[in-house]
Structure 1
Amino acid sequence: MRDLVPGEPTGRLSDAWRHCVGTGRFDLALRRDYQDSLALVQREIGFRHIRGHGLLSDGAGVHRPYEHEGERHVLHSFTYVDQVIDAYLDLGIEPFLELGFMPSGLASGEQTVFWWRGNVTPPSSWQEWADLVRATLTHLIDRYGLDRVRRWPIEVWNEPNLKEFWQGADEAAYHRLYEVTALTVKDVDASLQVGGPAISPGSDDWMTRFADFVTARDLPVDFVSRHAYTSGPAQHVPFGVHQTLRPASELLEQFATPRRQLKGGPLAGLPVHITEFNTSYRPDNPIHDTAFNAAYLAPVLAEGGELADSCSYWTFSDTFEEAGIPTSIFHGGFGLLTHRQIKKPAYHLYAFMARMGDQLLTRGEDHLVTRDETGRVTVLAWAPVDVTGAPAVAGHTVRLRIPFEAPSVFMLRSSVSEEMGNAWAAWCEMGRPRSPHPRQLDILREAAEPVRRHRSLPAEGGSVDLDLTLDRHEVTLVELTPVADETPPWHDDRRILGRGERTG
């Protein structure tokens, strides 16, 4: 039995998946490998914004206190900030500004997070914090123009509901941080976008109390934000972790939670940004490198835009050091790409989405069908995954009947799976070299490319029958284009080797 695809669009396909992507700390963008990776991502996927930690941390060098003639002063320096944002704009991507972490010269305590020691304590001076926010935004406006900076969302802190990211997970202290910051942002320019509270999963009541607080204080809020992950507690091994996973449907439930919580209240209708999401919240979990991760996330990308205004994959690259400098080319990093631009299966999920049309024809539990203005139809299909750890099984079938007016259709199919387009599998078979030699890197990059197949399909009775049998954890993109046959009348494939009878 085939699912019948409507002949006319049922709506527009949301590109919430493309609105933003995550990154390692701000100053990592100064590195060549980072910029090479981002250039590749932008050529083949094309995100609009990029978000990461550390804009105000010591590594970016913005807050520079000093003494002169016995008095304390602060110099606000933007040497690195300018280089990073210039590089972003050159690559066609704009920042999603996360204000954090606390500069050590302004911190009220010494608690830090990550290998690179981002300070997570409140400011020792609220006035000096406000001055830092003001100086940063004023500089960005002076350098890049007000109209452009107005497009850059400004998020106040990161996961303050976790004691690791905000001292004591002190909600009242975060509310004060938000108030001082939001009022400062709007004092710089009332049209700048400010929001929060950027909470992690597990403390959803923070969102409702945040809404109550900003409403009671009549504070500006232009969007709300939260994060989404579905992994369980970390089971530690040297230089890595393993975790259980809950079904992908729970990611979608987390995407939907803010709108559900805020419905009927004063913040209802505000944009909802999922500013981080992935399977595991750990940067050293091998699940991120696998074909499983791509198949798991396919329905999330296909449907997530119906539930949130953006969903930002955490992260675009393994140039990332929260748990320390990676010990191997594949190490379970968050990235769509490893160091040295080896594409993971999840990278291709995004690249496939980037090649889809914007006219939504239909969506199912294992497929998404679109059309573009040229009449090209695209089908994204994926093999359902089992989070219980049962062995993956090949043979899942997607059968569709797609309306087409042309007598025949050209089909191009691109696939990644456990066997296809899977550099991690090739690396494992290679003996898991921690620092691959140049030839090994070339092999891994070749192994990372999707397997591509093509054929002509008849369009009988005004439709094409498409039968897709999927490999283990396969994600496949099918592109269907009407054929305009320009074969000359004298052409005969039987005569390619000079055999057969003359005609004409």
Structure 2
Amino acid sequence: MGADRTTVPDHPIGPMPQTWRECVGTGRLNLALRSDYRESLAVLQRDIGFRHIRGHGLLSDDLGVLRESGSGVRRCSFTYLDQVFDAYLGLGVTPFLELGFMPGRLASGDDTVFWWKGNITPPRDHGEWAALVTALLRHLIDRYGLAEVRTWPIEVWNEPNLPQFWKDADQAAYFRLYETTARAVKEVDAGLLVGGPAISPGSDDWWAPFAEFVAASGSPVDFVSRHAYTSGPAQHIPFGTYQTLSAPQDLLAQFAAPREHLAGTALAGLPVHITEFNSSYRSDNPIHDTAFHAAYLAPVVTGGNDLVDSFSYWTFCDVFEEENIPTSLFHGGFGLLTHRQVPKPAYHLYAFLARMGAHVLARGEDHLVCRDDDGRVSVLAWQPVGGSDAPAAAERHEVRLSVPVAAPAAFLRRERVGEHDGNAFAAWRELGRPFSPTERQFDLLRDCARPAVEHSAPPVAGGRVELDLALSRHEVTFAEVLPVRPAHHEGLDDRRLLGGSDARLVAAHELP
């Protein structure tokens, strides 16, 4: 027996949220100097259009912001940074500044993270760090204008609760860094937005001490931030990782956590930014390349808008090198796009969202329905999936909807992404998993990455169209119903396409 039919209301229940596109993540900022990265960002902005972009390494030595001559003379150099930010703004996306890692000349130690050696130690002199932050922000304001830079959130460091990212995960040392940085930001301009603590999952015990510290010290804070992932311990293989996953609803619970923990504190009511989220926190986990991943994320990107002010998918493309340089085109990278701009199923999920209507008509556990002012109804539907402990997804999932149409006729267009359709990862496996595809193979992969498309003219009865969407395993589907008012063409008769007057001529030659 099929699923019950949901009657979608005629009138909107609210505007289509845009929180999901407020920010997207990227590998370290130095990577933006590469052509493959910029080509991927251009595709992303054309099809989706994010507002902000956040990545590591703004102050790391490989971007060269702080330089020192052999004789000990220091100078700020913004040559590379200007190229990065000019490119971002040229593509319609603005920075979400993450202040880190520590320049070697200011660092109190030699501890680093990643193969590109981001320094994770506190400054040996907090005054020198404040001077660097001040010089950076004044340069950005001079180049891009105060009104523009006031719209760029400024986050202090990255995951200081983890010893991999902040030496010894020293909370007191981070709080001192936060205070120094936040005061330096506000001394440049009181309208600049600063916040933190950018903590990773599993460290909600940082919220109360952070709130108490900023209240006691009077440190400025305009927003709070954290990260969200749902994967378990790493199961390593050569150049790859597998992990268990909790249910996607766990991501939504993590989104909600900051406001729950800060209720009743001085930070209650502040904007909340999830500045990184994904299923796995590993950049070599094949789950990121799959159709399952798109279905897994669908309830998160449609439901997270109610919980936070932004949630930033980590990351937009596979030009990313935390675990060193990837050894294969498909390698489990975080990206929505592979190298050379091959879309993954999760990319299509975001591209579908970008095409949804302006007004929400209905939301459910497996669908979102919107409408535009011109009467177009758009539907995003997906097969619900669970985590590692959940039963395997069925081979078929039905979404049955009755949607309003303000016209005597309708046109239905549907796009499918699943285990076969719109799935370049599946095609790559069938091609023998080539490490470095040829140009011909890249062309094939891009062709196979396109969603399957179908169209029809469904009947309209009583101002409604009945949609019966049968979804395959792990499918995410996008459908749009357009109102149609048929035009009359004098003399046209499709039954006479072969030049005769007998409709049997058409049937005999199997014309439509």
Interval of TM-score (by shorter of Structure 1 and Structure 2): over 0.9
Aligned residue in 2 for 1:137: 137
Matches within 5 A, 1:341-356: 341-356=341-356
Question: Could you tell me which amino acid in structure 1 is paired with residue 87 of structure 2?
Answer: A
Q: Give the Cα separation in 1 of the matches to 2:368 and 2:60.
A: 42
Residue 441 of structure 1: SS of its match in structure 2? helix
Aligned residue in 2 for 1:442: 443
Shift of 1:391: 4.2
Q: Give the Cα separation in 2 of the matches to 1:437 and 1:303.
A: 40
Deviation track 1:110-131 (CA, whole Å, cap 9, x = no partner) reads: 1111111111000011111001
Deviation track 1:226-254 (CA, whole Å, cap 9, x = no partner) reads: 00000000000000100000000000000
Aligned residue in 2 for 1:409: 410
Residues 407 and 463 of structure 2 are in contact (CA less than 8 Å); yes or no, is this contact kept in structure 1? yes
Shift of 1:65: 2.7
Question: Could you tell me which amino acid in structure 1 is paired with residue 110 of structure 2?
Answer: E
Shift of 1:373: 1.8
Q: Give the Cα separation in 2 of the matches to 1:189 and 1:34.
A: 32
Aligned residue in 1 for 2:279: 279
1:45 to 34, 43, 48: 48
Q: Give the Cα separation in 2 of the matches to 1:40 and 1:97.
A: 22
Aligned residue in 1 for 2:255: 255
Aligned residue in 2 for 1:95: 95
Deviation track 1:167-217 (CA, whole Å, cap 9, x = no partner) reads: 000000000000000000000000000000000000011122211111111
| Correspondence 1:55 to 2:37 | no
Residue 292 of structure 1: SS of its match in structure 2? helix
Aligned residue in 2 for 1:211: 211
Residue 418 of structure 1: SS of its match in structure 2? coil
Aligned residue in 1 for 2:38: 35
Aligned residue in 2 for 1:64: 67
Residues 32 and 38 of structure 2 are in contact (CA less than 8 Å); yes or no, is this contact kept in structure 1? yes
Question: Could you tell me which amino acid in structure 2 is paired with residue 469 of structure 1?
Answer: A
5+ residue gaps, structure 1: none
Shift of 1:265: 2.3
Residues 422 and 448 of structure 1 are in contact (CA less than 8 Å); yes or no, is this contact kept in structure 2? yes
Aligned residue in 2 for 1:222: 222
Residues 422 and 447 of structure 1 are in contact (CA less than 8 Å); yes or no, is this contact kept in structure 2? yes
Residue 487 of structure 2: SS of its match in structure 1? coil
Aligned residue in 1 for 2:496: 495
Aligned residue in 2 for 1:13: 16
Query: Which stretch shifts more, 386-395 or 211-220?
Result: 386-395
Residues 296 and 384 of structure 2 are in contact (CA less than 8 Å); yes or no, is this contact kept in structure 1? yes
Matches within 5 A, 1:134-213: 134-213=134-213
Q: Give the Cα separation in 1 of the matches to 2:69 and 2:36.
A: 34
Aligned residue in 2 for 1:335: 335
Q: Give the Cα separation in 2 of the matches to 1:357 and 1:384.
A: 22
Deviation track 1:288-337 (CA, whole Å, cap 9, x = no partner) reads: 00001100000101111100110100000000000000000000000000
Q: Give the Cα separation in 2 of the matches to 1:344 and 1:496.
A: 42
TM-score between the two structures when normalised by the length of structure 1: 0.97
Question: Could you tell me which amino acid in structure 2 is paired with residue 461 of structure 1?
Answer: G
Residues 14 and 361 of structure 2 are in contact (CA less than 8 Å); yes or no, is this contact kept in structure 1? yes
Q: Give the Cα separation in 2 of the matches to 1:190 and 1:405.
A: 50
| Correspondence 1:302 to 2:302 | yes
Aligned residue in 2 for 1:326: 326
Residues 156 and 196 of structure 1 are in contact (CA less than 8 Å); yes or no, is this contact kept in structure 2? yes
Residues 411 and 454 of structure 1 are in contact (CA less than 8 Å); yes or no, is this contact kept in structure 2? yes
Residue 340 of structure 2: SS of its match in structure 1? helix
Question: Could you tell me which amino acid in structure 1 is paired with residue 441 of structure 2?
Answer: Q
Q: Give the Cα separation in 2 of the matches to 1:295 and 1:489.
A: 47
Residues 228 and 255 of structure 2 are in contact (CA less than 8 Å); yes or no, is this contact kept in structure 1? yes
Aligned residue in 2 for 1:480: 481
Question: Could you tell me which amino acid in structure 1 is paired with residue 397 of structure 2?
Answer: H
Shift of 1:405: 2.3
RMSD between aligned residues: 1.2
Residues 246 and 386 of structure 2 are in contact (CA less than 8 Å); yes or no, is this contact kept in structure 1? no
Q: Give the Cα separation in 1 of the matches to 2:24 and 2:66.
A: 26
Question: Could you tell me which amino acid in structure 2 is paired with residue 106 of structure 1?
Answer: L
Deviation track 1:257-289 (CA, whole Å, cap 9, x = no partner) reads: 111112232211111100000000000000000
Shift of 1:462: 1.6
Q: Give the Cα separation in 1 of the matches to 2:296 and 2:35.
A: 31
Q: Give the Cα separation in 2 of the matches to 1:499 and 1:206.
A: 80
Q: Give the Cα separation in 1 of the matches to 2:198 and 2:387.
A: 27
| Number of positions where the alignment pairs a residue of Structure 1 with one of Structure 2 | 499
Question: Could you tell me which amino acid in structure 2 is paired with residue 396 of structure 1?
Answer: H
Question: Could you tell me which amino acid in structure 1 is paired with residue 7 of structure 2?
Answer: L
Residues 405 and 459 of structure 1 are in contact (CA less than 8 Å); yes or no, is this contact kept in structure 2? no
Q: Give the Cα separation in 2 of the matches to 1:305 and 1:208.
A: 25
Aligned residue in 1 for 2:507: none
Residue 282 of structure 1: SS of its match in structure 2? coil
Q: Give the Cα separation in 2 of the matches to 1:320 and 1:218.
A: 38
Q: Give the Cα separation in 1 of the matches to 2:147 and 2:235.
A: 47
Q: Give the Cα separation in 1 of the matches to 2:254 and 2:297.
A: 14
Name the % identity. Answer: 64
TM-score between the two structures when normalised by the length of structure 2: 0.96
Deviation track 1:24-69 (CA, whole Å, cap 9, x = no partner) reads: 001100000000000000001000100000000001001113464x
Residue 362 of structure 1: SS of its match in structure 2? strand
Deviation track 1:129-165 (CA, whole Å, cap 9, x = no partner) reads: 0011000000000111100000100000000000100
Residues 64 and 76 of structure 1 are in contact (CA less than 8 Å); yes or no, is this contact kept in structure 2? yes
Aligned residue in 2 for 1:268: 268
Matches within 5 A, 1:106-117: 106-117=106-117
Question: Could you tell me which amino acid in structure 2 is paired with residue 310 of structure 1?
Answer: S
Aligned residue in 1 for 2:508: none
Residue 266 of structure 2: SS of its match in structure 1? coil
Query: Which stretch shifts more, 259-268 or 167-176?
Result: 259-268
Aligned residue in 1 for 2:74: 74
Shift of 1:387: 2.4
Deviation track 1:344-398 (CA, whole Å, cap 9, x = no partner) reads: 0000000000000121111000000111122111100001124237544221000
Aligned residue in 1 for 2:382: 382
Residues 375 and 406 of structure 2 are in contact (CA less than 8 Å); yes or no, is this contact kept in structure 1? no
Shift of 1:489: 4.3
Q: Give the Cα separation in 1 of the matches to 2:38 and 2:44.
A: 10
Q: Give the Cα separation in 1 of the matches to 2:177 and 2:69.
A: 24
Question: Could you tell me which amino acid in structure 2 is paired with residue 53 of structure 1?
Answer: H
Shift of 1:101: 0.3
